[in-house]
Chains A and B, each alone.
Chain A
Amino acid sequence: MTYLAKPRLRHPTLTQNKVGYTRRDYEGRISTLCAGCGHDSISAAIIQACWELDIEPHRVAKLSGIGCSSKTPDYFLGASHGFNTVHGRMPSVLTGANLANRDLLYLGVSGDGDSASIGLGQFANAMRRGVRMAYIVENNGVYGLTKGQFSATADRGSRSKKGVINNDSPVDLVGLALQLGATYVARSFSGDKEQLVPLIKGAIGHGGAAFIDVISPCVTFNNHGGSTKSYDYVRQHNEAVSRIDFIPRHSEITAQYAPGEVIDVQQHDGSMLRLHKLHTDYDPTDRYAALSYMNARQERGEVVTGLLYLDPQATDLHLSLNTSDAPLNSLGPTALCPGSKALEKLNASLR
């Protein structure tokens, strides 16, 4: 049996959010991933984030590629339409879906194999086009689903479970996202829900291409001594630049400034991101500073997490294309078909 439905027991005491849903309503089918897989923690964080954001689950479209990570959309937001596309090519499908209906919220879930190898081109181009979505890479440094080969994000010198040493330099998706024009860039760790949930909330509320690279250890193939994507390694080397709170647009905003330590940034939908800066020299609105800060820390073997970059003035593909407010998939012949009169005129011009 490869499909497990989750029993739908509604406990009357479960708390409802503003749109009348309980946390249960944001769950999906029972995960078939290995017990302890970091990806399951990310699913839980997505569930938490959407519930806290009072999003109606069916207003979300969740798309993914192929891999253990890409299976996860089946395990959250059961009332949303999901699409498990082909290996590495989720970004294009999501782009098309977004063009068809700008009114839904788009969640793209991918793996490091999916996004940094076969799908690197699509990842890059979706970022530079500014497709509005929350793009989450569940980064474990290996191919989980095909049983433990190195992925392109594996660090040089790290070891596979079988003891093979990786000789290639890693692809840093965060660095790429920064360079390519993503307007919300973060890195987190699947084991740090406190940090991850507000980051996901911020990404969903963001008005352009939001990217979160989540280190997500693969307990089966990449959670051993030689790995730099294991739970222990990340816990020891984690260097958080910020903790963030997400303040939705509808709640009252109270400013509490402790200069040099807390800043508030308003997002396109009116929501606020409150950054508790752990490093007073860290400015999350400076794309190039973010890049060099991250690179410097990386040199020292540190994994920098937190909200690394945010452009509050983000734009998206619909703005560049100047598309109508009405979703394109809702338009009928009246809006789309020029009619027979126009055609006769056109015929006349072709004689």
Chain B
Amino acid sequence: MKPMEAINDFVIKFANVNGSGSASANELFAKAILRMGVPVSPRNIFPSNIQGMPTWYEARVCEQGYSGRRGGVDMMVAMNPQTWDADVAEIAPGGYLFYDSTRPIPASKFRQDVSVIGVPLTEISNSAFTDPRQRQLFKNIIYVGALSVLLDVEAEVFETLFAEQYRGKEMLIDANVRALHLGRDYVKEHLQAPLGLRVRRADKVGEQIFTDGNSAIALGCVYGGATVAAWYPITPSSSVPEAFQKYCDKFRVDPDTGRSNFAIVQAEDELASIGMVLGAGWNGARAFTATSGPGISLMTEFIGLAYFAEIPVTIINVQRGGPSTGMPTRTQQSDLLSCAYASHGDTKHVLLFPEDPHECFEHAAAALDLADRLQTPIFLMTDLDIGMNQRLCKPFVWDDARTYDRGKVMTAEELEAGKDFGRYKDVDGDGIPWRTYPGTHPTKGSFFTRGTTRDPYARYSERGPDYIYNMERLCAKFRTAADLVPQPVLRSADQPTSLGVLYFGSTSPAMQEALDVLTASGIHIDALRLRAFPFPDSVERFIAAHELVFVVEQNRDAQMHVLLVNELGVDPARLIKVLHYDGTPITARFITEAIQKQLQGATALIKEAA
């Protein structure tokens, strides 16, 4: 079979053993390609495990800039004997298999239709390094070096990266450069290079940055003024508070006093972490927690209290596969309903759906403003795919003139001037009442916060009319929220069409690509990217303006579809479900095929009716 040929457009996958130090080598490889001006989007694929278990890193190199997962593997770097068979089977016909040829592997273990490239990595590493850990770590750099020749990536790019990474540690720079060249030299001497798959300098990266959603959220929380964070470890959200700690140590320690302008507590569980966030929010600090599905389940009683007692809290939900422990290290968008209606009784919560790290940063800062403005829980809904994978995106921006929206907080002066204060009174007609921070005034403005019903002046009440006033006001507030949240983004088709598609969050990159592919095949679709719940009016108008609207999401039960039908009262028949939920990130191929198939079915139906 003819070996595959492609420039700046292929998928390479690294099969490694967890704990072998491969993660940084693989990232180095991706970064080098980026430095050549060619977009790369990598994904970590790791089962829920610890050291010694399999782990994969799949990088899509794509000059056009599509960062969704493409599907298929063109080159496999098979470094894990345990998963060899499956890894080899995954390679597309005509693709390449790269492996460590130190120990012989029986011919039956290879495939006829892929090109096999063996480099004795262990042997090279062992003869160059003596320390066992070094041997292991540098083996990774040696394969990066070998690949760089095979794929035509410049050595200087790596050398610059080493110099940046290990600034001031000359020994490390030298050792890494040496390992790199051991790999390069072997290939140059023994193998034919470059391959049919190649990287060629381009200028498609520009000003974009390469980062992951969890760090971006943490940074957004720093810029947005969060001072209290309470959390309990859970994959894939733990790196949010960890990055917050890192950024706070860098930006929030007063240089004069050495004291911290933040407080981070690793709580005993999610019940406590959300409780702390509630306490801090009640007391006038901006506070957040980060968690994933099981944590949300534990938090729901407190979320109901925050909703009913109207306390600002920001909850970051980096979603993973559920229910229960489901697929803890895989991605899904399956907590929409459990967050939108979290807790018992009638509740509705604000959800935000960032599409990439850039928006993670923006939405995190916005969430803190919205929580204060609306005095309610705000959920920032991301998922493992955005949270834990690095992605090329627009750089972060911040307007120095921006101040924090602290919402309706009555001051001591206003109270002193005799302004009427009723904690749960709708004075402005937007459903949002005024609050006071504890300790504001010696005699005025104090109130009792509770989860039980009360009158507009916060006095305990079991009167039906008081309850209804409050519940209706909360609904009014929710309608107000629809105008304040990030508004949907419309991408109109090239020509008028009766087809529409709704999507959100991490589906975004695959959707961009799918829309291009569909357009090329003659299917024109208007696309609306949802960025928040409650849905602004524009969503309803968009649905009304199209005969068929696809709703693309990554869960089994079409949770966004349910929300749309439930909240907007649209005819469910007009909304066509496109569902992907095997735990891997949705691909453009999947969306394209699903839409094409549905359209064929729809045409058949129309014909039948005629």
A231-270 CB contacts (< 8 Å) to partner B? none
Docked-complex contact B404 and A332, CB < 8 angstroms: yes
B451 sits at the interface (CB 8 A): yes
Determine, out of A39-47, A91-99, A214-222, the stretch whose residues face the partner at the interface: A91-99
A59 to chain B, nearest CB (A): 6
Contacts of A31 in B (CB 8 A): none
**CB <8 Å contact, B283 and A61:** yes
Residue-by-residue, is A1-34 near B (CB-CB < 8 Å gives 1, otherwise 0)? 0110100000000000000000000000000000
Partner of A74, one of B34, B208, B282, B460: B460
A96:B261 contact, CB within 8 angstroms:
no
Q: Nearest chain-B residue to A125 (Cβ)?
A: B268
Shortest distance from the beta carbon of B336 to any chain A beta carbon, whole Å: 25
A339 within 8 A of B: yes
Check if A171 is an interface residue, CB within 8 A of chain B: no
User: Is B265 touching A95 in the complex (CB atoms < 8 A)?
Assistant: yes
Interface residue ranges of A27-82 to B (CB < 8 Å) = 56-59, 61, 63, 73-74, 78-82
Among A95, A332, A335, contact of B279 (Cβ-Cβ < 8 Å): A95
Q: Which residues of A contact B219 (CB under 8 A)?
A: 346
Query: How far, in Å, is B257 (CB) from chain A's closest CB?
Result: 7
Contact A338 B251 (CB under 8 A): yes
What B residues does A78 contact at CB under 8 A?
A: 446
With A86-B305, A322-B259 in contact, do A122 and B283 touch (Cβ < 8 Å)?
no
Chain A 333-351 against B: per-residue CB contact (8 Å), 1 yes, 0 no?
Answer: 1011111101110110011
- B598 lies within 8 A of chain A by Cβ: no
Contacts of B449 in A (CB 8 A): 81-84
Q: Which residues of B contact A333 (CB under 8 A)?
A: 225, 402-404
Question: B264 — which chain A residues lie within 8 A by C-beta?
Answer: 321
Tell whether, in the assembled complex, residue A329 and residue B461 are in contact, meaning their CB atoms are under 8 Å apart.
Answer: no
B277 near A: Cβ within 8 Å?
A: yes
Chain B 551-596 residues near chain A, CB threshold 8 A: none
CA distance A58 to B510 in the complex (A): 55
Question: How big is the B interface, by class?
Answer: 35 or more
Contact across chains for A85 and B275 when beta carbons are under 8 A apart: yes
Residues on B with beta carbons closer than 8 Å to the beta carbon of A103: 439
- In the complex the two chains form, is A84's CB within 8 Å of B276's CB? no
B491 interface hit (Cβ, 8 Å): no
Within 8 A of A (CB), among B249-293: 251-252, 254, 257-265, 267-269, 271-285, 287
B211 within 8 A of A: yes
Using Cβ atoms and an 8 Å threshold, which residues of chain B touch A318?
263
- Find B398's partner among A85, A89, A343 (CB 8 Å cutoff): A343
Q: How far is the CA of A230 from the CA of B111 in the complex (A)?
A: 82
The digit string for B219-241, where 1 denotes a CB below 8 A from any CB of A, is 10011010110100000000000
A74 touches B448 (CB 8 A): yes
Do A99 and B398 contact each other (CB < 8 Å), given the known contacts A58-B441, A86-B451? Answer: no
- Give the Cβ gap from B360 to chain A, nearest Cβ, in Å: 13
CB-based contact A92/B437 at 8 Å = no
Q: Are A97 and B283 in contact (CB under 8 A)?
A: yes
| B396 interface residue (CB < 8 Å to A) | yes
B residues 406-424 touching A (CB-CB < 8 Å): none
Query: How far apart are the CA atoms of A74 and B459 in the complex, in Å?
Result: 10
Task: Name the one of B260, B404, B461 contacting A323, with C-beta atoms under 8 angstroms.
Answer: B260
- Which of these, B280, B305, B403, contacts A97 with CB under 8 Å? B280
Question: Least Cβ distance of A248 to chain B in Å?
Answer: 20
Q: Are B451 and A84 in touch, CB under 8 angstroms? A: yes
Q: How far is the CA of A340 from the CA of B399 in the complex (A)?
A: 7
Contact A336 B268 (CB under 8 A): no
Q: Are B276 and A92 in contact (CB under 8 A)?
A: yes
B residues in contact with A83, CB < 8 Å: 279, 282, 448-450
Interface string of A85-126 (1 = CB under 8 A from B): 110010111111111110110000000000000000110110
- Chain B neighbourhood of A350, CB < 8 A: 209-211, 395
CA distance A318 to B261 in the complex (A): 11
Q: Is A278 at the interface (CB under 8 A from chain B)?
A: no
Cross-interface CB contact of B227 among A58, A81, A104, A336, cutoff 8 Å:
A336
Taken together as a complex, chains A and B put the C-alpha atoms of A337 and B222 apart, in Å, by 7
Asked whether any CB of chain A lies closer than 8 Å to the CB of B440, the reply is yes
A291 at the interface (CB under 8 A from B): no
Is B447 part of the binding interface, using a Cβ–Cβ cutoff of 8 Å? Answer: yes
The answer to whether B461 touches A3, judged by C-beta atoms less than 8 angstroms apart, is yes
Q: A89 near B285 (CB under 8 angstroms)?
A: no
Docked complex Cα distance between A82 and B461 (Å): 16
Is A325 an interface residue when CB atoms closer than 8 A count as contact? Answer: yes
Smallest CB-CB separation from A121: which chain B residue?
A: B268
Tell yes or no: B242 within 8 A of A by CB: no
Q: Is the CB of B275 within 8 A of A89?
A: yes
Q: Is the CB of B279 within 8 A of A3?
A: no
Please tell me if the beta carbons of B283 and A324 are within 8 angstroms of each other in the complex. no
With A321-B263, A323-B260 known as contacts, the answer to whether A96 contacts B442 (CB < 8 A) is no
Partner of B396, one of A56, A85, A86, A347: A347
CA distance A338 to B460 in the complex (A): 43
User: Complex: how many Å from CA A339 to CA B398?
Assistant: 7
| A328 interface residue per 8 A CB criterion | yes
Interface residues of B in 19-72 (CB under 8 A from A): 34
CA distance A82 to B223 in the complex (A): 31
Shortest Cβ gap from B403 to chain A (Å): 6
Contacts of A96 in B (CB 8 A): 228, 230, 275-283, 285, 287
Of the residues B228, B272, B461, contact of A2 by C-beta under 8 Å: B461
Contact in complex: B440, A329 (CB < 8 Å): no
Interface string of A293-333 (1 = CB under 8 A from B): 00000000000000000000000011001111100110111
Q: How far is the CA of A344 from the CA of B264 in the complex (A)?
A: 26
B538 at the interface (CB under 8 A from A): no
Q: Which residue of A lies closest to B257 (CB)?
A: A324
Nearest-Cβ distance from residue A128 to partner chain B, whole angstroms: 9
Tell me the nearest residue of chain A to B460, going by C-beta: A3
In whole angstroms, what is the CA distance A347 to B223 when docked? Answer: 14
For the complex, what is the distance from the CA of A271 to the CA of B428, rounded to whole Å? 47
CA distance A97 to B279 in the complex (A): 4
CB of B85 within 8 A of chain A? no
Q: Are A58 and B450 in contact (CB under 8 A)?
A: no
A53 to B254, CA, bound (A): 34
- A83-B282, A100-B280, A328-B228 known; A342 vs B261 contact (CB < 8 Å): no
Is residue B138 contacting chain A, with contact meaning CB distance below 8 A?
no
Contact A325 B279 (CB under 8 A): no
Bound CA span A132–B399, Å? 38
B462 at the interface (CB under 8 A from A): yes
Q: Is B443 an interface residue (CB 8 A)?
A: yes
Q: List 17 A-B contacts (CB under 8 A).
A: A84-B451, A91-B275, A92-B275, A96-B275, A98-B279, A99-B263, A100-B279, A100-B282, A101-B284, A104-B439, A317-B263, A321-B263, A323-B259, A329-B285, A333-B404, A340-B398, A350-B395
Give the 6 A-B residue pairs with the shortest CB-CB distance, closest first: A96-B279, A92-B275, A96-B276, A100-B285, A81-B438, A329-B284
Further pairs besides A58-B440, A92-B279, A351-B205: 18, Cβ < 8 Å: A2-B462, A81-B449, A84-B452, A85-B305, A93-B279, A93-B282, A96-B276, A96-B281, A96-B283, A101-B437, A121-B269, A322-B258, A329-B285, A336-B225, A338-B222, A347-B209, A350-B209, A351-B209
Query: A residues bordering B, Cβ < 8 Å?
Result: 2-3, 5, 56-59, 61, 63, 73-74, 78-86, 89, 91-101, 103-104, 121-122, 124-125, 129, 317-318, 321-325, 328-329, 331-333, 335-340, 342-344, 346-347, 350-351
